[in-house]
Each structure stands twice: as structure tokens, then as C-alpha cells.
Amino acid sequence: MLRSLSNTARQRLSVRIGTALIVLMACALPAQAALTLSTTRVIFNGDKRSASLIVANPSTRIYAVQAWVNTALDDTISPVPFMPSPSLFRLNSGKQQQVQINGLPNDLPSDKESLFYFNVQEIPQASPEETNVLTIALRTRIKLFYRPAQLRGNPIDGLMDLKWSLQTDAGTTHLVVNNPTAFHVTFGRIELLTGNHQQELKNIDMVLPMQALALPLQGLTLSPDMQVRFTAINDYGGASKPVSAPIKQTP
């Protein structure tokens, strides 16, 4: 087929194939953000007007940086009572920028935490020497917890208040954790314990305040004397000490 093409057509075809390969390689290789944040979560206390964090650029490139706050829907239309400043800035190699998240008037619940997300998108500066280069704008997204001023303590203080049970629905057994506290609980690790045997749960999620979370237990061995052992992530991004609790058997 290539023999019947003109030289110009062959060159165009080669460019298209090369571009397709570059795109496929970019999709196949894991992308890693160049910018770093000074924290893995933001705690916005209701008695404060703002919270802040540092965006750093340890790389050798210059980046344009965009910052914003949104909800779990990850859209641009849901209203949020927070405004980062600056929301768009240049960050040179080896430099850092403090971003202040300002609180706006709101009617958020006063008896429990509310969850939002802080986003940072990095856009590398184009170099005149670079041609036919695929530029990818990467984004870092971390949790932002709004904690009303009336709340005392933190999520780790209430770990012993979590209630665990086994429930079966449509033939599938779930480990259900009920969170009666006013805080979000982000689990670091959850294990089922039977005697000297332990089984770790995968793909665990966060349980919301005053709600329950059901975790499917397909492929795991269950027994009446089973217990749960778990850790949770604290306000600083570290893991709590392991906590053990009984599991209630629910028909």
C-alpha cells in the first residue's frame, strides 16, 4: 500500500501514525503532577475567615496555576462558599505560593462537617524549542472539610463511637459502618479479624457524618466471632492508632 503513495502522502501518514502513538503512550503511562501541596486535606474552621496552604514547584519548568473549590459533583456550576486567592498565578521553578481560601457567607449545617474539594491545575509553559509536543494540564484534588465553630474535638476522638454490623442484601453480605458523629471518617485500613487470621478490605471509602457505609465482602471468609480493626486519617494526613471493635450480626 505504501508503495502506491506519493512521498508527500507517505510523510503525512507517518506524521499521523507518530502522533497517534504519542497519544497512546501518554494514555498508557501514569501521569504525575509536578506541583506539590503542603497538606493532603484542608480543615476550614467555622470561627475563622480563611484557611491557607502552600503550592510549591520543585520542578525545573514554569507553570501557570489555577486554583478553585468545588463539590463532590466535580462541576463548575454548584455554588460553593469559598474563594481561593490568588485563583490564577504563575509559579517559577523552585518557587512556592501561598493560596488563601476565603470563606463567604453561607448556610452550611452547624451541627456537622460539610465536604468540598480544593483543586489545583498546573499548565506547563510552552517552550519555543519544543515542537509536536503533547501538553497535558494535570490536576491535584484534595478534600476540604468545613468544620462549624460549634463542633468540638476531631474525627479521631469519635472512632470508638462507630458501630459495625454484617448485613445481607440480595445475596451479598456487607460490612456496614454507622457513623453517629458529626465528622467525616476517612479510613486508612480496615481488616476483619478471626482468631489469628486477618483479611484486609480493598477499595474502602469515607463514611459521612450521621450516615452509614456498606462495604461488600465477596470472597472473604466470615465467622460469628469476627471483629474489625481499622485506622483513620487525621487532620494532618497521618493514620490513627489501630482501633478494634466488635461486629454485630444482623439477619
b (16+ CB within 10 A) / e for 47-86 = eeeebebebebebeebbebbbbbbeeeeeeeeebbbebee
- Distance CA(234)–CA(247), nearest Å, equals 23
Instruction: Say how many Å lie between the first and final Cα of the chain, rounded.
Output: 68
Whole-angstrom distance, CA of residue 105 vs CA of residue 115: 16
Q: How far apart are CA 103 and CA 52, in angstroms?
A: 11
CA distance 189 to 187: 6
Q: How many CA atoms lie within 13 A of 212 on its CB side?
A: 12
Cβ(232)–Cβ(240) below 8 Å = yes
Instruction: Check if the beta carbon of residue 165 is closer than 8 Å to that of residue 247.
Output: yes
What's the whole-model pTM score? Answer: 0.83
Which pLDDT tens digits describe the chain residue by residue (251 residues)?
A: 444 555 554 555 444 444 443 344 444 445 678 999 999 999 999 999 999 999 999 999 999 999 999 999 999 999 999 999 999 999 999 999 999 999 999 999 999 999 999 999 999 987 766 666 677 889 999 999 999 999 999 999 999 999 999 998 888 899 999 999 999 999 999 999 988 788 999 989 899 999 999 999 987 778 888 999 999 999 999 999 999 999 997 66
